[in-house]
Chain A
């Protein structure tokens, strides 16, 4: 055993470096700043680049430019910065630019409280861009998850060529904890699929091969072949199109390429799977209070199970349906006023869903959760 004392922001940075991230740009914002600090210690020493943007828009802009030049890029911010990222997030969705975006959530709305935690951005991350086309959101529970899921986030961004978010929380990001990095699961690194056409074949930046949903990539600056990127509605060659059927086909593909594959990246954890009465659904830092609550309830001879979701978007419908099947009571606990519960209600429309939420900058305590369960 060899323990280290690291917080979630540090393990996000270590996970990113391990995934092969070579470019980071960010604008300082509590509680995300220490990711920038860590990347500044990790990347430039090894030939990578870490930059401080003049604002959040610039920071994500640098990342999109770097990503299209072929390097793995990441940025990190908090809710106020995600708002400013929004237009560039839409760009990355529509123009299929791989990027990992860490949202270290803090209490909102607006400036809110810089040093208080919340999970108030969960729907915002899903819907905070124009078009409503899907993105991927992973939610860590602790510093270990921050490492593993950030690595996975890079794999997913490269594979699906889309923005992948880490929905962290001040309470994970700035809480140092003992962690044995050697014991962590180390996912294999997946790289962007490069153009595999024959020498005489034209490279079309948004063309997809039969049975594939994601276009093959060539970086801007590639020798011998030209690459194009555009934020405009485009056809396979990367030029503006007004052909409705071509547009329709592309929009469907952007939706399908991610949503059809969610089973392959549905990360979750189960607690006390034997219980047959109540299932608590949760994610993020709150999952830790839920785990403690399940133990408290056990002492009172009340059995409750928990399903901890680590893939939030696209919603892992199959998993949620399957894992809730045998339960009569479903309780959703969130560090907000009720966001992901809306998705659970949609998926489990035939079940009654109970909700408990708190968004006052203070962690939900295990005792609050056990009370909610006890009161049926």
Chain B
């Protein structure tokens, strides 16, 4: 197998740019592992490191600044067999910081080569997230105020399973890259180099100085034993292959006849924990059991365990065009929080609306018909009031029948919950509250 260097498009970096060393080392690594070009995708970032994909006869993906790791993740998930190599500068590292952390945490089998030259080469030598505070860059004094970050230490803290940092000038750079590619999981090679086009115009940095600086840092030598774990695509497959198919669509065949014709809306007003949303759904399923068309909306507090909870259902024997509910036929007023939320609605009601509420519940002044239930005497708990009120509705022959209701319960609940709910509905059904 030959070199994968694209002879038609030779590297066009500034003379002396360390990137060229990385290009050649990468090619040597491909050669040694015996990878063919169609087994590799080069995903390149923006900046001078963003030119890498054009120098190789491999698949290539050159995207947006800082986002190379995101495309790489999508490609790898879609085609886990591909060798995915990402090249990114210290610029991409900074702007794509969240993606770096996520890549470390996720452990997809991707190799990231960081062409770290301590500044933004292409845009004119501004400071990056790895620029030393005492460097002279074209961002004025601003880099003096910030601490550069250690990519490898950060990556290890985030869960990277392979990290190594080295100078672009070492003779065995290709071996470091090779080891990274061979690693099953996310691997990083932080390659320190010189950017003569910008950085060393005002700063002194030589291969020797780089070597000295690297020596002062804590050693990182490839595999990070504490982060070794399953590779993401393999793990994903392992978990998902055990999943059972999920049926999202419950088809209901009508079995009953609804007690009333026309379009009716029901408001269920309560608070978090009162099973208000479930009651709304039960009502809709009861409607479906009689072939009624239905729409259902709910409204609850963003902190879900506190505050109001409101369900609004429309049941109709004709297709429902407009989904706003209009004047409700029935209101189940179960708790102050929900009632307060819909306070304004009470004013305009007339006797065509039936309000079912507790003996102990305060409701705003209204002309609607009110039916009070002594839930306490019936030993109905707060979180049972919604379902109990649906039974009261059926006792009034309002919109749904008792059979529609219980067959809806059977549809929604598992046997255990169904049995418990049936106990409750029968208690109301057999009571003499009317």
Chain A residues within CB distance 8 Å of chain B: 1-6, 10, 13-14, 22-23, 25, 38, 41-42, 44-47, 49, 51, 53-55, 57-58, 61-71, 73, 87-88, 91, 114-115, 171, 174-178, 181, 219-232, 238-240, 285, 288-289, 291-292, 295, 363, 365-366
State whether B57 touches A226 (Cβ < 8 A).
Answer: yes
State whether B79 touches A5 (Cβ < 8 A).
Answer: no
List 25 A-B pairs, Cβ < 8 Å.
A1-B254, A1-B291, A2-B251, A3-B254, A5-B284, A14-B248, A14-B249, A42-B248, A49-B78, A51-B73, A53-B102, A54-B102, A61-B63, A62-B77, A65-B75, A65-B76, A66-B75, A91-B63, A176-B284, A177-B294, A178-B293, A178-B294, A221-B79, A227-B59, A363-B323
A33 CA to B245 CA in the complex, in Å?
A: 21
State whether A229 touches B62 (Cβ < 8 A).
Answer: yes
CB closest residue in chain A, given B243? A45
State whether B82 touches A221 (Cβ < 8 A).
Answer: yes
Looking at the complex, which of B18-26, B64-72, B197-205, B333-341 is the stretch in contact with chain A? B64-72
> Of A14, A44, A55, A66, which one neighbours B78 at CB under 8 angstroms?
A66
Q: Which of B36-69 contact A (CB under 8 A)?
A: 37-38, 41, 43, 53-54, 57-64, 67
In the assembled complex, the CB of A281 is this many whole angstroms from the nearest CB of chain B, namely 18
State whether A88 touches B64 (Cβ < 8 A).
Answer: yes
A238 CA to B57 CA in the complex, in Å?
A: 13
- Chain A residues with CB under 8 Å of B292's CB are 178
With contact pairs A3-B251, A42-B248, A49-B236 given, residues A289 and B322 touching in the complex (Cβ less than 8 Å): yes
> Of A25, A225, A226, A228, which one neighbours B74 at CB under 8 angstroms?
A25
State whether A71 touches B70 (Cβ < 8 A).
Answer: no
A14 CA to B251 CA in the complex, in Å?
A: 14
A10 CA to B54 CA in the complex, in Å?
A: 42
Question: Does B225 count as interface, using CB distance less than 8 angstroms?
Answer: no
A295 CA to B292 CA in the complex, in Å?
A: 21
List 17 additional contacts besides A49-B77, A292-B322; criterion CB under 8 Å. A5-B288, A57-B67, A58-B99, A61-B63, A61-B71, A62-B71, A62-B73, A65-B72, A67-B74, A71-B78, A178-B292, A220-B79, A221-B59, A221-B81, A239-B9, A288-B323, A363-B323
With contact pairs A65-B71, A91-B64, A231-B62 given, residues A4 and B41 touching in the complex (Cβ less than 8 Å): no
> Of B9, B79, B99, B246, which one neighbours A45 at CB under 8 angstroms?
B246
A15 CA to B110 CA in the complex, in Å?
A: 32
CB closest residue in chain A, given B51? A240
Question: Does B324 count as interface, using CB distance less than 8 angstroms?
Answer: yes
In the assembled complex, the CB of B74 is this many whole angstroms from the nearest CB of chain A, namely 3
> Of A64, A69, A115, which one neighbours B299 at CB under 8 angstroms?
A115
A71 CA to B320 CA in the complex, in Å?
A: 37
In the assembled complex, the CB of B286 is this many whole angstroms from the nearest CB of chain A, namely 11
Chain B residues within CB distance 8 Å of chain A: 9, 37-38, 41, 43, 53-54, 57-64, 67, 70-79, 81-82, 98-99, 101-102, 236, 239-240, 243-246, 248-254, 281, 284-285, 287-288, 291-299, 302, 320-324
- Chain B residues with CB under 8 Å of A69's CB are 74-75, 78-79, 82
- Chain A residues with CB under 8 Å of B75's CB are 65-66, 68-69, 220-221
State whether B251 touches A4 (Cβ < 8 A).
Answer: yes
Among A69, A230, A285, find the residue whose CB has the most chain B CB atoms closer than 10 A.
A69
A312 CA to B296 CA in the complex, in Å?
A: 27
A130 CA to B244 CA in the complex, in Å?
A: 43
State whether B253 touches A2 (Cβ < 8 A).
Answer: yes
CB closest residue in chain A, given B77? A49
A223 CA to B243 CA in the complex, in Å?
A: 31
State whether B71 touches A226 (Cβ < 8 A).
Answer: no
Among A10, A63, A66, find the residue whose CB has the most chain B CB atoms closer than 10 A.
A66
- Chain B residues with CB under 8 Å of A49's CB are 77-78, 236
State whether B249 touches A232 (Cβ < 8 A).
Answer: no
State whether A291 touches B99 (Cβ < 8 A).
Answer: no
A280 CA to B43 CA in the complex, in Å?
A: 50
With contact pairs A45-B243, A175-B297 given, residues A220 and B74 touching in the complex (Cβ less than 8 Å): no
State whether B294 touches A225 (Cβ < 8 A).
Answer: no
With contact pairs A42-B248, A65-B78, A289-B324 given, residues A223 and B59 touching in the complex (Cβ less than 8 Å): no
> Of B41, B70, B296, B321, which one neighbours A221 at CB under 8 angstroms?
B41
CB closest residue in chain B, given A365? B324
With contact pairs A58-B102, A222-B38, A285-B323 given, residues A3 and B288 touching in the complex (Cβ less than 8 Å): yes
With contact pairs A23-B74, A49-B78 given, residues A4 and B249 touching in the complex (Cβ less than 8 Å): yes
State whether A363 touches B324 (Cβ < 8 A).
Answer: yes
State whether B284 touches A58 (Cβ < 8 A).
Answer: no
In the assembled complex, the CB of A176 is this many whole angstroms from the nearest CB of chain B, namely 4
- Chain A residues with CB under 8 Å of B322's CB are 288-289, 291-292, 363, 365-366
A224 CA to B38 CA in the complex, in Å?
A: 6
A345 CA to B102 CA in the complex, in Å?
A: 47
CB closest residue in chain A, given B288? A3
State whether A58 touches B98 (Cβ < 8 A).
Answer: yes
- Chain A residues with CB under 8 Å of B236's CB are 44, 49
Among B74, B285, B292, B299, find the residue whose CB has the most chain A CB atoms closer than 10 A.
B74
- Chain B residues with CB under 8 Å of A63's CB are 74
In the assembled complex, the CB of B108 is this many whole angstroms from the nearest CB of chain A, namely 10
Among B41, B77, B101, B287, find the residue whose CB has the most chain A CB atoms closer than 10 A.
B77
State whether B61 touches A68 (Cβ < 8 A).
Answer: yes
- Chain B residues with CB under 8 Å of A295's CB are 321
State whether A177 touches B78 (Cβ < 8 A).
Answer: no
CB closest residue in chain B, given A63? B74
State whether B243 touches A44 (Cβ < 8 A).
Answer: yes
In the assembled complex, the CB of A60 is this many whole angstroms from the nearest CB of chain B, namely 8
